[in-house]
Amino acid sequence: MKWHPAGHALATGSNDRQTKFWCRNRLGSTAGLDEEDDDGDEESNEIHVDEMELGNHVGIVIGRRGATIISMQRATGTKMHVDQVRRVLEIEGTQKQIDVVKKRVGALLERVSSDSEQRQRDAAAGIAS
């Protein structure tokens, strides 16, 4: 096995007919690296803790075996914890990350509530027929 002459791709094969492709950044590439803010804002990197009320949708936010909350944590870079007694989502991260999480969770809850409203209308229409 050898890396491609440009140094960024490698293909491997195995006896069970699997082919895997491995990629890495080229030398000198800055793609995929965190961009530095040159604004001089130390507050942008400051860690905040915020809470979001979930109501009856705690299970929706957690997901099956925690899949939803885990994927959201990985995508946003935040730490999240659901307090099931108070029905609150605790979010820890920068203010920008917290805003992204709130938008995503809000969209998820909105989609779930609109789906349940649609099912209720469909059920009411079925009874009325």
Predicted confidence (pLDDT) per residue in 32-84, tens digit: 555 555 555 556 789 999 999 998 889 989 999 999 999 999 999 999 999 98
Q: Do the beta carbons of residue 101 and residue 82 sit within 8 Å? A: no
pLDDT band at 113 (very low <50, low <70, confident <90, very high): confident
H helix and E strand count, the chain: 3, 5
pLDDT band at 128 (very low <50, low <70, confident <90, very high): low
Q: Can you name the CATH fold of 45-128? A: Ribosomal Protein S8; Chain: A, domain 1 (3.30.1370)
Task: Provide the residue type at 17 as one letter.
Answer: R
7-34 pLDDT, tens per residue?
Answer: 667 777 777 778 877 776 665 556 555 5
| Look-up of token digits 């990629």 | 23
Q: Do the beta carbons of residue 63 and residue 69 sit within 8 Å? A: yes
Regarding predicted confidence, which is higher, 103 or 6?
A: 103
pTM value > 0.75: no
Q: Do the beta carbons of residue 89 and residue 105 sit within 8 Å? A: yes
For residue 112, the number of C-alpha atoms closer than 13 Å in the C-beta half-sphere is 15
Residues 116, 121, 122: CA angle, nearest 5 degrees:
95
List Cα–Cα distances, 91 to 50, 77, 83, in angstroms. Answer: 5, 11, 11
